[in-house]
Amino acid sequence: MKRRRFAGLALAVVLFPAALAVGAPPAGNAYRIGFLWDSPQVFPEAIEAFRRGLRDLGYVEGRNLVIEYRWAEGKPERMRELAEELVRMKVDIIMAPSSVYTEAAKRATSIIPIVFMSHADPLRSGHVANLARPGGNVTGLSIMMTETNVKSLELFKEAVPGLSRVAVVWDPATPSHGPGLKAIEGAAPSLGLLIQSVPVRSEADYEAAFSAMVRNRADGVLVLSTPMFIARAKRLAELALTHKLPSLFGPKDHVAAGGLMSYSPDRRDLYRRAAIFVDKILRGADPAGLPVEQPVQFELVINLKTAKTLGLVISQAMLTRADQIVQ
């Protein structure tokens, strides 16, 4: 795979427009899209890819489209309130990128179409009845995290040959994390690995969670993807380094923040493709009959600086497979 080097998220911030909200309502009729998410700092490049995808399909903000952004800002207790606010506004579609936001939107409405953009496991979390025919008012794109977690574990074992006991950090409130953890526990024995489940419900649990890993002699940590963890990527990377634990994440944002490695679909591609779902629904398609789509592009990212700090030597074979390398 082609290797690309990057220094961090600074470029992403530059690329993302400073002003997200549309000003005065446009003249005439315009579609109104609700966007429910944590903050504009989480996946800024992907959000811009979604907006660019809409523009490519002829939707111009301020002319025939208004996007109503609602940010939870690291406060999961606000998700239901924000979703209900969008419902009261009678938006045409609600964009709910991940499983926790899909859950909030689904509880708020069974009528307004809901499109997820990077759902970890829409089937096992109960948000769709079937991937081919979702049923109900929910559809979109999945990152297939339950299956991807198993591949991630294989890559982790290959990158850190001495790995034997892996702590898995997960959030019980994230609907997709239960199935994801179960898949990891099922795959671990064939890889000669023991799994330590570490539930984390808030940022206040981080210190205790890493202390528990050390007490239980974990020699690596795998962090499942959820907005709460992504928003605190730097803190999680720092704790892993402080406790001398190789770390594996989903989104590459964690590696830019100092994590060892990540393996995940390209969210920019997923968010761009989400615009196609919006277009189909606005043209009259029923979300119940729009199949859930799966990722086609995955990214393996490795932080060589972190590897050196941990005293790890990443094999040339692994480096050759990487899509991006942080020096």
Average pLDDT of the chain is: 89
Residue 4 lies in a domain: no
Residues 253-311: tens digit of each pLDDT: 899 999 999 999 999 999 999 999 999 999 999 999 999 999 988 999 999 999 999 99
Q: Do 193 and 256 sit in the same domain of this protein? A: yes
Residue type, 273: R
Residue 127 has pLDDT above 80, yes or no: yes
* DSSP bridge partners of 115: 95, 139
Quick check: 221 and 208 in contact, CB under 8 A? Answer: no
**pLDDT at 24 (0 to 100):** 38
pLDDT in tens, 65-111: 999 999 998 787 898 999 999 999 999 999 999 988 999 999 999 99
Predicted confidence at residue 176, as pLDDT, reads 86
- Residue 107's identity, in one-letter code, is R
pLDDT of the residue at 194: 97
In a domain, 41, yes or no: yes
Same domain, 138 and 201: no
Based on the structure, what is the number of domains in the chain? 2
CATH code of residue 49: 3.40.50.2300
Q: What number is the average pLDDT over the span 109-114?
A: 97
Q: In this predicted structure, what is the pLDDT of residue 28?
A: 54
Domain check: are 260 and 113 in the same one? no
| Residue 128 reports pLDDT greater than 50 | yes
Q: Are residues 286 and 308 in the same domain?
A: no
| pLDDT, tens digit (0-9, with 9 covering 90-100), for 134-186 | 999 999 999 888 888 889 999 999 999 889 999 999 999 888 889 889 999 99
Beta carbons of 111 and 136 less than 8 angstroms apart: no
3 domain residue, yes or no: no
Residue 135 and residue 218 in one domain: no
Per-residue confidence (pLDDT) for residue 292, from 0 to 100: 97
Residue 84 has a pLDDT of 97
- Report the C-alpha gap between 200 and 207 in whole angstroms: 10
The two tokens of residue 262 are 């990540």
Q: How far is CA 166 from CA 112, 197, 213, in A?
A: 41, 9, 9
Query: What would the pLDDT profile of 3-37 be if each residue is shown by its tens digit?
Result: 444 433 333 333 344 334 433 334 458 999 999 99
Q: Are residues 27 and 53 in the same domain?
A: yes
* Separation of CA 240 from chain center: 20
**Residues 298, 263 contacting (CB under 8 angstroms):** yes
Least confident residue range of 82-96, 188-202, 221-235, 272-286: 221-235
pLDDT value at residue 119: 92
At residue 3, the pLDDT reads: 42
Which residues contact residue 21 at a Cβ distance below 8 angstroms, ignoring those fewer than 6 apart? 67, 69
What separation in angstroms does the CA of 37 have from each of 88, 148, 219, 232, 262?
17, 23, 33, 15, 22
Return left, alpha or beta for 223; rule: phi > 0 is left, psi -120 to 50 is alpha, else beta: beta
Taking CA 297 as the corner, what is the angle to CA 296 and CA 303, rounded to the nearest 5 degrees?
155
Residue-range definition of the domain harbouring residue 287: 9-142+266-296
Helices (H), the chain: 10-15, 44-56, 79-88, 99-108, 145-159, 177-187, 206-215, 227-231, 233-242, 253-256, 267-282, 304-310, 316-321
The terminus-to-terminus CA distance of the chain in angstroms comes to: 17
- 216: pLDDT strictly greater than 50: yes
Q: Which residue has the higher pLDDT, 232 or 323?
A: 323
Determine the Cα–Cα distance for residues 291 and 130; give it in Å rounded to an integer: 8
CA-to-CA dists, residue 213 to 156, 170, 206, 221, 222, angstroms: 17, 13, 11, 8, 11
